[in-house]
Amino acid sequence: MKKVAVALVMACMLIGASFVEVEGNLTCDQVTIWLTPCISYAVLGGDVSPLCCQGVHSLNAAYKTADDRRGACQCIKDKAANIPGINYDRVNQVGPKCSSNCPYKVYPTTDCSKVK
């Protein structure tokens, strides 16, 4: 129960602090809103929620340029670094679990400037 509370608090913090713009047409706010439902899986495991998959599909549909992909990558990387207990292997499983391809993997060492 404590982990769920931490995940919910972090989700609220991420939404509240997500007004940074990413490169391209997407904003970090949009990326954060779409992917917030994925936080519980990234921290606790279990099942990926339908809302998480909906957000992943929305994000992938919103990519129009390489700048969009690079900006979203940087946003996800920056936000994930602030989530206690985040499991990057789970983060990178979300796309396949939602039957969606992600054009990059997110780890603390990911160089988002190289995303195409």
- How many CB atoms neighbour CB 110 within 10 A? 18
pLDDT of residue 101: 87
**Percent of the chain clearing pLDDT 70 (strictly above):** 79
Angle between helices 28-35 and 50-62 (to 10 degrees): 150
Chain segment 22-54, per-residue pLDDT in tens: 445 789 999 999 999 999 999 999 999 999 999
Query: Do residues 112 and 78 touch, judged by C-beta distance below 8 A?
Result: no
Chain segment 10-20, per-residue pLDDT in tens: 444 444 443 33
57 phi/psi in degrees, rounded to 5: -65, -40
Identify any residues that bridge with 27 across adjacent strands, giving them in sequence order.
21
